[in-house]
Amino acid sequence: MAPALLLQVPPPGIVEGGWEYVVAAYAITAAGFLIYAASVFARHRRSEEEEK
């Protein structure tokens, strides 16, 4: 392998890039929290209205 090409190959065992996975993990987590919070708020409000 030519020396210039060797420099471009990352060492084995090192992950390069991957921001799309990071964005996906944070987006799904945020969506999960938002949906669950909205569900709890809605059920809480409905139960308060039913009590009145």
Partner 1 sequence: MILPRLASPNLAFALVALGVLLLLAGSYYGLFVSPQERYMGDVQRIMYVHVPSAWNALLLFTLAMGCALAYLWRGGWGWDAHHEALLEASAVLSFLLCVQGSIWAKPTWGVWWDWDPRLTTTAVMLLALLGILALRSAVDDPEKRATWSAVATIIAFVDVPIVYFSVRWWNSLHQMQSSPETVSAPFIVPLRLNAFGVLALMGGLALLRARVAARRTAKELGPALPPMPAGAALEA
**Does residue 5 belong to the site contacting partner 1 (CB under 8 A)?**
no
State which residue, 7 or 49, has the beta carbon closest to partner 1. 49
Cα atoms in the Cβ-side hemisphere of radius 13 Å centred on 22: 5
Cα 5 to Cα 2: distance, rounded to the nearest angstrom: 5
Both tokens of 51, joined, read 């009590």
Amino acid at 23: V
State which residue, 4 or 15, has the beta carbon closest to partner 1. 15
**Does residue 49 belong to the site contacting partner 1 (CB under 8 A)?**
no
State which residue, 7 or 15, has the beta carbon closest to partner 1. 15
